Amino acid sequence: MLSLYVDPSTAGGLFHLNAYALTTLLCHLAYSVGMYAALSRRYADWNLQLLSTCFDLFFATAVAFITEGQTSASYVFFVFAIIAAGNRAKSRPIATVTVCSVALYLLVIILTQGITSVYDMRAVYLAIAGYLIGFFSQQRALFEAEVRELETRTERQSIARSLHDGYVQALAGVNLRLETCRALLNRNRPQDALTEITDLQAGVAREYDAVRIYLRSLAGIEQRPAAEFAARTSDPSFEVRAAFSGGSLLGEHILQIMLEGLRNSRSHGLANLVRIDVREVEDKVSITIEDDGVGLSDSSSRPWAIASRVAELEGHMSMHSDGSTRLQIELPNG
C-alpha cells in the first residue's frame, strides 16, 4: 500500500492513491488480519482453506490489475496463493491453484494492454513456480510420513520393552507363586498357602496401580495424588436398565463404558448405589451413569478411559459432580 502510494508513475503524481486502489488494498488488509486471527486461534477447517484460496486468487488478480496490470510487480501474489496451497501437502490443490493463477494473470494482461510477447512469459514463470512448489510439497509429505512411521515404530518398541521388562515379568512371578500355593495345598499346609496368597494379592494390587499409572502416562493424563485412591472399600449396589440395538462394535463399546463407570463409582466415588440407564433416542444411544458417591473435585477428573471411547465414536459426554456424579453420554448409532 505504501509503495503504491508513493509511486510517482501513477496517475495524479507523487503521493496519490485513487479510491479503487485504496478500497482494494484496505479490503486485502482486512482479509489478511482476519485470516491471521483465525489461524492464531487454530481454527482451520476445510471450508476456511477453500475460502482463503479463493480470496488469495481474487486479491492477487485485483492487486495486479490496479497496480499497472501486466507490468506490475504484484503478480507475485499469485505465487503466494500457490505456496499457501502447497503448505497443505496435496498435489491436486496445488495444480488447480497454479492453473487458476496462470489463467487469471493472462486475463489481467488481456484487460490492460493485450497479449504481448514480452510479459506473457510471466504466466510461464507462474506455471514453473507451481510445478516446483508441488514437487517439493510432495517430497515434504513423503518425508513427514517416514518421520511419523519412525516415531511410531520407536514408541511401539519402547512400550513393548516396558511391558516385557516390567509387567510380563511380574505376571511370570505371579504364576510361579500360584504354583507354590498349589504345592502348599497339596502338602496340606493351608495356613502357609493363605499367607502366600495374601502377600500375592498385595503384590498384584501394587502392579495394578503401576499399570494404571503407566497407562495414564501414555494417554497424557495428569496423575492424581495417591491419597485419593487410599479408600477402596465401597461395594455399591447397582441398577441397570438397557434397551438398545446396533452394531456389535458399538455394543462392545457401550458395555465397556458401563463396566468402567461401575468401577469408577466403586473405586473413586465410594458410592452406595449406582444407576445405569441405556436407551435409544432417535439415531443416538443415550447412556446415563449416576451414583450417590462423594463426587469428583473438578473437570480434570473426568474418566479418561470413557472419554477416549466417546471421542473415538465421535460422541458427546458431559459430567455433573455436586456431592454425587452424573455422567451423560450420547453416541451416534449408525
Percentage of the chain exceeding pLDDT 70: 83
- 89, 90, 67: which is closest to 77 by C-alpha? 67
Of the listed ranges 3-7, 33-37, 181-185, 299-303, the one predicted with least confidence: 299-303
Tens-place pLDDT, residues 109-154: 888 776 665 677 888 888 898 888 888 888 888 888 899 898 888 8
**pLDDT number for residue 222:** 61
Q: Cell numbers for 35, please give them.
A: 485470516
Confidence of residue 249 (pLDDT cuts 50, 70, 90): confident
CA distance linking residue 81 with residue 77, whole number of Å:
6
Confidence of residue 30 (pLDDT cuts 50, 70, 90): very high
**pLDDT number for residue 110:** 83
Confidence (pTM): 0.45
18-53 burial, b for 16+ CB within 10 Å, e for fewer? eeebeebbeebeebeeebeeeeeeeeeeeeeeeebb
**pLDDT number for residue 51:** 86
Q: Cell numbers for 79, please give them.
A: 505465487
- 60, 125, 54: which is closest to 96 by C-alpha? 54
CA distance linking residue 250 with residue 286, whole number of Å:
12
Per-residue pLDDT at 231 exceeds 50: no
**pLDDT number for residue 277:** 93
**pLDDT number for residue 117:** 58
Among positive and negative, which fits the CA dihedral 262, 266, 271, 273? Answer: positive
Cβ-based neighbour number of residue 81 at 10 Å: 26
**pLDDT number for residue 278:** 92
Per-residue pLDDT at 92 exceeds 80: no
Tens-place pLDDT, residues 32-56: 999 888 888 877 677 788 888 899 9
**pLDDT number for residue 329:** 92
CA distance linking residue 198 with residue 207, whole number of Å:
14
DSSP 290-331: EE-S---SSGGGS-HHHHHHHHHTT-EEEEEESSSEEEEEEE
**pLDDT number for residue 10:** 56
CA distance linking residue 30 with residue 13, whole number of Å:
27
